[in-house]
Amino acid sequence: MINMLMWFLYCRVQDFIYCPAILNIYSTFNLTIKSKSVISQKEQFSDIYPLNITDIIQAPRPLITSVNATDSSISVTWTSATTPITKCKIRYKRLNTESWTETADLVSSVESQFVIEGLQSFSVFDLSVSCFHGFGRWSDWSEETRVKTTESLPSAALSLSYYVDSDENSGIRRLVLLWKALDVTDARGLIRGYEVSYKPITQPSLKKTIHTSHLKAVVLVRSEEYEVSVCAYNSAGRSPDRRLTVDASRTHDVPAVRSLWVYSDGSSLWIRWEYEFTAVNISEFAIEWSSATDGEHRRWERVDGSTFTVRLPGIEAQQTYNISVFPICGSLAGPPNNISADLQHGALLDPVGFGLLNVSSSSVALRWSWKEAKPGVCVLQYRLVLTGPDQIQTLAVFPDKQQHSFLYLHPNTKYSVHIHGETRDGNFTKASLDITTLLLDYEEMMRFAVPAVLLLLIFGIFSVLSRTVCREYLFPIIANPRYSLIGRWLLNPHLQGSDKICVLKLDGLFLMDQQMEKSVFVVSDHEDEVPLKTSETAEGTALWKPCSDDEESALTPSSLPEYVDLPFLPDSSGYVQTGQIPGERNSD
């Protein structure tokens, strides 16, 4: 470090007569800086700098004596020193902003006053004053003075949304109204509360009015149209009314948010959710949270429709909070999704009852449930993980999801399924399950068995039908003479004819029937069994012969009488001779 002594040496450009005349506002000097080292005693001189007294004289700093504010203006009064002041200027800015606004130069005197207009109502401003002699330099800015404008009527109507909540069991309908707090520039003061009025359109005399300090109101309605109006008010008056016509008999298709979860970073809570984009265009989300022990003190936050993560400020330790998220679509709102959380654990939910719901050859269905509990650690999220020989599937699970199916698995393969909890320090396994897929599904077996059974059934029916048809038309049944008395008699080579002529008189044996086209008679191989008797059956007239008990027992099933259908014989029928054709004579 070098220690040096410095002198300022100056001389007047023109000669001077006496010393007091050296320094005046019109003086001009040449300034040289001389420095000397304390150690080496070496001296150095700077370059020469021209110096005008008018350039370095500065006006004295003014003093603000009073400020008076209205809802849109501030009146400022200040004083300067006895030195004549030619002009001043004022600068001001709103609280928590960076840029200053300066007024034009103001003609001033020792005591001056100026009114700043066009200011925002119920706003805090910082202001200061600087003055000028007419030569030299402007004074330093005065000490900043803070002042607040007064309240005025709110200038804008509220942004109002609603949805209808109906209880199918009780039939009660609730109209839930949500509105957004006015911006400071529109509120123009401290909002003291909100006035909500509603009435049936068909019965205006049933109008009801309620007052609330919250940004939500729930009223009971019937299934009809209502006219609803909401306004805000401060100490200066009311805002313009926001009016809506609501059909309480309808519910609108604005779905609730899903996959809602809360986690803690140690100093605040973070809430996140997902939303399935549908035909309804979501403009923003409304988040409401309050302490479980103080439900009247509610806080609200609004974010645009593309935001899905929000930090909740003002969270206190050792407090449990109830959090709700509402989707907003213009004048329509959706039902909320709710969750409880605290700063130590985050979401106060735990998955329980993890188990198998269904298993097939290519898929596994799992189920679980959620229980309100305080987990041992702060869980960022839970994940469901399936691990197999050659594949891993994973997804995040949230309280609105209680089952899931893993698809495209391999048959007869062993898989492990786990629920993992993710924390800032690592992961832990909450529950696990080992599953083996089936070789064949019941549906697959039925898919093969049913067509096979149907094919066999059709083939059997076709076989039976084709056999009957083919036998009837292609292979007709030919009588086997071995099963007939006549056939056996004709085929017996030992039978010989005799000279005895047996004549069967047919005239008295046939019973003619006008409704019958055929006559029936009995042929027997016993010649001595006469006379023949006739009997009427359902198929015509039959001839039969009596027999003794010995003969009846000697007959086999093949020796039973046969009934033969014959055409009608004409009256000119002759007789039948054994072994001869009618009309021939015996040679004997």
Give this prediction's pTM. 0.64
3-class SS string, 260-288 = EEEEECCCCEEEEEECCCCCCCCCEEEEE
Q: Is residue 450 part of a domain?
A: no
Tokens of 423: 């924390």
Tokens of 367: 């189920």
Q: What percent of the chain has pLDDT over 90?
A: 41
So what's the pLDDT on residue 68?
94
* Domain endpoint, select from 131, 150, 169: 150
Strand, coil or helix: 233: strand
Q: Is residue 281 part of a domain?
A: yes
Q: Are residues 3 and 135 in the same domain?
A: yes
Q: What rounded mean pLDDT belongs to the chain?
A: 79
Q: Are residues 384 and 431 in the same domain?
A: yes
Confidence of residue 536 (pLDDT cuts 50, 70, 90): very low
Rounded to an integer, the average pLDDT of 111-130 is 92
| Structural element, H or E, at residue 458 | helix 442-473
* Burial (CB count within 10 angstroms: exposed 0-12, middle 13-18, buried 19+), residue 248: buried
Confidence of residue 532 (pLDDT cuts 50, 70, 90): very low
Q: Are residues 211 and 321 in the same domain?
A: no
Task: Report the distance separating Cα 564 and Cα 536, nearest Å.
Answer: 14
Q: How far is CA 404 from CA 57, 379, 395, in A?
A: 83, 21, 10
Task: Report the distance separating Cα 432 and Cα 417, nearest Å.
Answer: 6
Rounded to an integer, the average pLDDT of 518-525 is 46
Q: Is residue 511 part of a domain?
A: no
* Domain endpoint, select from 92, 118, 150: 150
pLDDT tens-place string over residues 493-510: 665 555 555 555 545 444
Q: Are residues 237 and 332 in the same domain?
A: no
3-state helix vs strand vs coil in the chain, percent to 5: 10, 45, 45
Q: Are residues 38 and 136 in the same domain?
A: yes
Task: Report the distance separating Cα 536 and Cα 282, nearest Å.
Answer: 96
Q: Are residues 5 and 123 in the same domain?
A: yes
So what's the pLDDT on residue 493?
64
pLDDT tens-place string over residues 159-181: 999 999 887 777 788 999 999 99
Residue 279 has pLDDT above 80, yes or no: no
Rounded to an integer, the average pLDDT of 286-303 is 90
Q: Are residues 108 and 217 in the same domain?
A: no
Sign for the CA dihedral angle at 554, 557, 558, 560 comes to positive
Single-letter code of the amino acid located at 530? V
Tokens of 308: 């899905």
Residue 152 has pLDDT above 70, yes or no: yes
pLDDT tens-place string over residues 169-226: 777 889 999 999 999 889 999 999 999 999 999 999 999 999 999 999 999 999 899 9
Confidence of residue 547 (pLDDT cuts 50, 70, 90): very low
Specify which residues 555 forms β-bridges with. none
518-555 CB burial, b ≥16 within 10 A, e <16: ebbbbebeeeeeeeeebeeeeebbbbeeeeeeeeeeee
Specify which residues 418 forms β-bridges with. 385, 432
Residue 4 has pLDDT above 70, yes or no: no
Q: How many Å from the N-terminal Cα to the C-terminal Cα in the chain?
A: 183
3-class SS string, 108-125 = CCCEEEEEEECCCCCCEE
Rounded to an integer, the average pLDDT of 528-541 is 43
Q: What percent of the chain has pLDDT over 70?
A: 75
* Burial (CB count within 10 angstroms: exposed 0-12, middle 13-18, buried 19+), residue 180: middle
Q: Is residue 379 part of a domain?
A: yes
So what's the pLDDT on residue 567?
46
pLDDT tens-place string over residues 62-120: 999 999 999 999 999 999 876 678 899 999 999 888 899 999 998 887 788 999 999 98
Strand, coil or helix: 193: strand
| Domain count within the chain | 4
Q: Are residues 65 and 146 in the same domain?
A: yes
Q: Is residue 80 part of a domain?
A: yes
Listed residue (270, 500, 481, 282) closest to 379, CA to CA: 270
pLDDT tens-place string over residues 451-498: 888 888 888 887 777 767 666 666 666 667 777 777 677 777 665 555
pLDDT tens-place string over residues 378-434: 889 999 999 998 889 999 999 999 999 999 898 889 999 999 999 888 889 999 999
CATH number for the domain that contains residue 41: 2.60.40.10
Q: Are residues 120 and 2 in the same domain?
A: yes
Q: Are residues 333 and 353 in the same domain?
A: no
Residue 9 has pLDDT above 60, yes or no: no
So what's the pLDDT on residue 174?
92
Q: Is residue 561 part of a domain?
A: no
Written as one string, the DSSP assignment of 275-343 is ----SS---EEEEEEEETTEEEEEEEEEEETT--EEEEPSPPTT-EEEEEEEEEETTEE---EEEEEET
* Domain endpoint, select from 316, 346, 376: 346
**Cα atoms in the 13 Å half-sphere on the side-chain side of 476:** 3
Domain assignment of residue 101, given as a range: 1-150
Q: Are residues 307 and 369 in the same domain?
A: no
Q: Is residue 527 part of a domain?
A: no
Q: How far is CA 99 from CA 78, 88, 92, 117, 124, in A?
A: 23, 20, 9, 18, 14
Confidence of residue 524 (pLDDT cuts 50, 70, 90): very low
Q: Is residue 276 part of a domain?
A: yes
Strand, coil or helix: 82: coil
Written as one string, the DSSP assignment of 67-80 is EEE-SSEEEEEEE-
Q: Are residues 362 and 332 in the same domain?
A: no
